[in-house]
Amino acid sequence: MAGALGLSLAGPRSYGGVAVEDAFMGEGGRREATPADIRRALALYRTADALLVVLLGLCAGLVLIARS
């Protein structure tokens, strides 16, 4: 999702003074997320969920047709 939003998340950081060397997600993007990014992430999530529901509905329909 970070890459789709143009963000660069995770990467090297510190937790309680202990350095963590993780890779970036969405490398090359912005490091600061804004409220607009959160709204875009939620819209992307809702779209993906809607597509999943439609796909599952189609699969269920095909199963019902096949059993008829």
- DSSP letter for each residue of 12-65: SEEETTEEE-PPEESTTSBS---HHHHHHHHHHHHHHHHHHHHHHHHHHHHHHH
Q: How far is it, in rounded angstroms, from Cα 63 to Cα 57?
A: 10
Q: What is the pTM (predicted TM-score) of this model?
A: 0.68
The answer to whether residue 45 scores a pLDDT higher than 90 is yes
42 three-state secondary structure: helix
Can you give the residue ranges of every domain in the chain? 1-31, 34-68
Percent of the chain with pLDDT over 90: 60
